[in-house]
Each structure stands twice: as C-alpha cells, then as structure tokens.
Amino acid sequence: MTHNIRIAMIGPGDAASLMAGELGAAGADVIGFDLSPLPESSTPVAETIAEAVAGADVVLSLNSSSAALRAAERASALLPPGAIFADLNTATPALKRKLAEHFAPNAFVDAAQMTPVSQTDGENVIAVAGPGAQTFIDRLAPFGVHLELVSEVVGHAAARNLTRSLLSKVLAGAVIDYMWAAEAMGLEDWAHDEMLRAFDAMTRDTATGYLEETVKNAKRREIEMLDIVEMLEEADYHSLFVPPTQLVYNKVYHSIKVPHANA
C-alpha cells in the first residue's frame, strides 16, 4: 500500500539507512541525502540537501550530535510550508532547544530512538516531544513506526533517551569494574558465571530491592563496602566504581531521599 507522503532522510550511517529502508518498504516516498544505503536498500539518494528537502512532508535528521546543528541550519532555510523537521540525533535537551530555534514552533520535533540500533529483534521505539509532535506521529503512524508522545516540550524526549543511556552505561561500567576486580584476585571465570546467573535471575523485584533494601540497610552496606575496599587493596586493584558507590550509600544513610524507595 502506498501512502501519499514524502520523507527526506538526512544521515550517512547505518541507522539512517535502516530507517529509510523500513519506511520505503512500508510505502513512504523516501529520499536520502548523504545516505550510504545498505546493499539491499533501494532508497534513492539526492545530490544536494535542497533536492532532498524539496516537497518533503517530513525531514528526519539522523547524523550525530556534532552534525545536528549544521543539518538543522541547512534544512530550516529549505523546509516547505507545513513540513516537519525531526531531529533523531542523540543529543542533550539544551542542543535540541537550540535546534528548535531555527524553525517555526510547530515545524520542529525532538525525537529520540529509545531502542538501540543493534537491537534488531525488537520494535524500534521513538520518543517524540515538541509542539508538532502529534502531527509528526499522525504522519508516520501509517508506516508502522512505534512513536511515543512524551510532551509538547522540546528536550523532553532527549532527556528520556540520555537518562536511559545513563542506566545502561553505568551498568556496563560496573560490570567491567567487577570483572577487572575478579581478575586481580584470580576469580574471573567464577565471577563471569556468577554474574550471568545474577542477571538471569533478575526481575522487577530486583530493581525495587535495589531501591528499598538499600534505604533499609544503608549503614550495613556502607560497612560492607569497607570490607570490599580492604580486599581490593590487598589484591592491588584500584576500583573506579567503589569510591562513588561508597558515596551513594553514605548519602542514603544520611537521609538523602531515594525516589520510588518506600522505606
């Protein structure tokens, strides 16, 4: 089924190519600029950004935070009346607000891909914010894109994306620090298996427990961290995560409120 909508995709990477291909397969008239199509993609590529943006109903920018401002500046002068420019780059809320200044209020959308590009087996969820968010959702809804309305405030989608990223990056850092510590004590094989068992057993209650049980037992956990510090010093391993973790427990113990902890 063909839908009467033209979408310009600005971006050179795999994420832009994948999205362009998916939208085209769903029936959208898609044209790319600076796009490196995947081998199986049939997305046409414009020679100039003016050619790509001309007649577009929606312009999607999926580059990088460093290229986002230039793409917005160039596209804003070419955007047809009634068209929407959506910035899907991973960027700070402040940068999203700066980009929005180049467009009419209803012509800019702060969008954020909440699903990692590497996660190809799941649905790609895009958070959307800004005055033109609902119109943007209405235009892309026929093409099977999972769009989630956050608010009409530019920057709110970006904030969700980076906050989610904070969780994944901190977890990754903690896992690496844990494995380095285990290696220093000759326990890397056991520690790796133990970590996998712990992750396999995780549920919603695990996350709740991290919040509530830490509040209930902050002092005890702070003392246990001292034992961990002593052990790692004996192994001559200088952890990067233990000191800030100690600080967190110290703050909790001294009645710093933990959101969603009922204790």
How many angstroms separate the CA atoms of 221 and 216, rounded?
Answer: 10
Q: In the listed set 130, 152, 174, which residue is the last one of a domain according to the structure?
A: 152
Per the structure, the complete domain to which residue 68 belongs is given by 6-152
Bridge partners of 110, per DSSP, are: 87, 129
Q: Among 152, 175, 205, identify where a domain stops.
A: 152
Q: Could you tell me the CA-to-CA distances from 187 to 152, 175, 179, 195 in Å, in that order?
A: 51, 14, 9, 12
Q: Is residue 76 within 8 Å of residue 49, measured between CB atoms?
A: no
Report the DSSP beta bridge partners of residue 84: 58
Is 263 part of any domain? Answer: no
Question: Residues for the chain: how many in total?
Answer: 263
Q: What is the largest CA-CA distance in the chain?
A: 68
Final residue of a structural domain among 152, 171, 206: 152
What's the structural domain count of the chain?
A: 2
40 with 122, same domain: the answer is: yes
Same domain, yes or no, for 68 and 15? Answer: yes
Burial 124-154 (b: 16+ CB within 10 A, else e): bebbbbbbbbebbbebbeebebebbebbebb
- Residue 94 and residue 22 share a domain: yes
Would you call 18 exposed, middle or buried from its count of C-beta atoms within 10 A (0-12, 13-18, 19+)?
A: middle
One domain, residues 16 and 130:
yes
Q: How far apart are CA 198 and CA 97, in angstroms?
A: 41
Question: Quick check: is 261 in a domain?
Answer: no
Element (H, E) at 160: helix 156-184
DSSP annotation of 147 reads E
pLDDT confidence of residue 1: 44
What is the distance between the alpha carbons of residues 4 and 103, in angstroms, rounded to a whole number? 24
Show the beta-strand stretches assigned E in the chain: 6-10, 29-33, 45-46, 58-61, 84-87, 108-113, 125-129, 146-151
The answer on 222 and 118 residing in a single domain is no
Cβ distance 248 to 198 under 8 Å?
A: no
Going residue by residue through the chain (263 aa), what tens digit of pLDDT does each one get? 445 799 999 988 788 888 888 898 888 999 989 877 655 667 888 889 999 999 999 999 998 888 899 999 999 999 999 999 999 999 999 999 999 999 998 999 999 998 765 554 556 789 999 999 999 999 999 998 899 999 999 999 999 999 999 999 999 999 999 999 999 999 999 999 999 999 999 999 999 999 999 999 989 998 999 999 999 999 999 999 999 999 999 999 888 888 888 86
In the numeric block, the tokens 């113990």 are attached to 253
Q: What is the DSSP string of 60-99?
A: EE-S-HHHHHHHHHHHHTTPPTT-EEEE-S---HHHHHHH
Query: Pairing state of beta strands 84-87 and 6-10?
Result: unpaired
Instruction: Identify whether residues 101 and 211 lie together within a single domain.
Output: no
Same domain, 176 and 61: no
Residue 212 lies in a domain: yes
Residue 129 main-chain phi, psi, to 5 deg? -140, 155
- Residue 31: which CATH number? 3.40.50.720
